[in-house]
């Protein structure tokens, strides 16, 4: 799945959060989609290697390639929210281990990211 950053102008601060790191008009590969039950929806996008890829409000983008990668699965959270991402990233505790710089989690993330990015070209 690919999205184009349409810009943060005109959006309230909570929507724009973190968007100053993105380039208007740039197309990004979506690594994960997080849909809340009662709240905004987010795209996880890596814009700088070696850092936790943040979640950006989906209202800042337009979808330019809607096809989701076959490695993605959908999981539901206790509150009814949905996550669509590589199955290996949806294991409980994965993102916490990644943020703690666990070598295993970093390897799983990089492998999944590389597949998504390479196959989206």
Domain layout of the chain by residue ranges: 2-119
Quick check: 47 and 33 in contact, CB under 8 A? no
Measured between alpha carbons, how far is 88 from 57 in angstroms, rounded to an integer? 23
Residue 40's pLDDT band, with cuts at 50, 70 and 90, is very high
Query: For residue 121, is pLDDT > 80?
Result: no
According to DSSP, the residues that pair with 60 across neighbouring strands are none
Query: For residue 13, is pLDDT > 80?
Result: yes
Pairing of strands 27-29, 72-76: unpaired
**pLDDT digits over 63-76, tens only?**
999 998 888 999 99
């Amino acid at each position: 799945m690919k999205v184009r950053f349409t810009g943060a102008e005109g959006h309230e601060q909570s929507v724009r959060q973190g968007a100053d790191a993105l380039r208007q008009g740039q197309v990004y590969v979506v690594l994960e989609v997080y849909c809340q039950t009662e709240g905004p929806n987010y795209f996880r996008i890596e814009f700088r290697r070696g850092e936790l890829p943040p979640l950006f409000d989906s209202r800042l983008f337009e979808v330019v390639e809607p096809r989701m990668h076959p490695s993605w699965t959908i999981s539901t959270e206790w509150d009814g929210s949905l996550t669509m991402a590589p199955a290996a990233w949806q294991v409980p505790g994965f993102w916490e281990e990644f943020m703690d710089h666990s070598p295993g989690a970093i390897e799983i993330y990089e492998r999944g990211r590389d597949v998504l990015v390479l196959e989206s070209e």
